[in-house]
Amino acid sequence: MEIDQTTILLLMFGVMLAGILVGVHIGFAFGATALIGNAILFGGIDGEWAEGIEIALSGVGSVSYEYLRSEVFATIPLFMLLGDFVNKSGAAKDLYNLINHGLRAIPGRLAVATVAGNAVFAAVTGVSIAAAAAFSRIAYPQMMYHGYNRTFALGSVAGSACLGMIIPPSVLLIVWGIISEKSIAALFIAGAIPGLILAFFFMVYIGVSCKLNPTLAPAMREGVEEDKLSPAEIASGFGIGALILLVLGGIWGGLFTPTEAGGVGAAGAVI
């Protein structure tokens, strides 16, 4: 029986959606969908299923090998390693404290500092999950201590963590560049300004919301305002800025490829 490609596409989408809805891991749902679709495409709905599955599996192996042997894929673990070094060293917390102390007069300053910190952290690591993990431990407890609205605090952390998907060196942009065979450096340049604009409007929204509804972010408790930044915190915070200049400046200036920039950035984070 002949089956047109539109029907195969709809069948594949149905299998994928059903798998996700019943709780199958997304990776397995996508894999099963691709396998079934290729088996039908090459073997027919009532044809040589074994041949279709064999062709599909051989395609999976060859395509995976061709992608993984590319040095560009090394960019992803290198930037993740860079983010882990920054997070484990406590530099992310120092960065947050530095930004927080510079925003004393702004309503909802802890939430605004969370957005700004996530934007800077994204420009170092490019991994939104790492940003969410870091600032959920750093910023969220402080906002709760000072009486911030819980939903507002969680939204500030989760929403701003997504900046890592846009602001370079975004892992998402790296993957997209590999799949679409586009220049990763060009994608980084294209994502920088939209990401910064989004971060700016996040901060404006938080400031206006807290001004109109002070219960979202009550005034800071007494005693916190007098806290002073240590020289180590200041140096650590500015060290993050140096890493950004090293990584992104190196890519945009043509000194490094994205893969080399990830390695140089990871080495710089250790230092």
Q: Are 112 and 54 within one domain?
A: no
Structural domain ending residue among the three candidates 14, 44, 68: 68
- The answer to whether residues 241 and 268 touch, using CB atoms and an 8 Å cutoff, is no
Last residue of a domain, one of 68, 94, 114: 68
| Residue of 197, 194, 191, 199 lying closest to 251 (CA atoms) | 191
The Cα angle at residue 243 between residues 239 and 244, in degrees rounded to 5 = 115
| pLDDT tier at 13, thresholds 50, 70, 90 | confident
Query: Is residue 49 domain-shared with residue 154, that is, in the same domain?
Result: no
**What pLDDT sits at residue 220?**
63
pLDDT tens string 78-108: 887 887 787 777 777 787 778 877 777 788 8
Q: Are residues 184 and 218 both part of a single domain?
A: yes
Q: pLDDT of 154-182, one tens digit each?
A: 999 988 888 888 888 888 888 888 778 78
217: phi then psi, degrees, rounded to nearest 5: -145, 85
Same domain, 261 and 145: yes
pLDDT digits (tens, 9 = 90+) for 201-248: 999 999 899 888 888 888 765 544 546 777 777 787 778 888 888 888
In the block, tokens 């989760």 appear at: 158
Quote the pLDDT of residue 268.
Answer: 81
How far apart are the C-alpha atoms of 115 and 65, rounded to whole Å?
Answer: 39
Q: How far is CA 74 from CA 77, 137, 171, 217, in A?
A: 6, 28, 11, 42
pLDDT tens-digit readout, 229-240? 777 777 877 788
What pLDDT is attached to residue 129? Answer: 78
Pair (187, 87) in one structural domain: yes
The domain in which residue 56 lies consists of 5-68
What span, in angstroms and rounded, lies between the C-alpha atoms of 136 and 80?
A: 18
| Number of domains, the chain | 2
Q: Based on the domain organization, do 148 and 97 belong to the same domain?
A: yes
Q: Tell me: do 177 and 155 sit in the same domain.
A: yes
Q: Are 119 and 137 part of one and the same domain?
A: yes
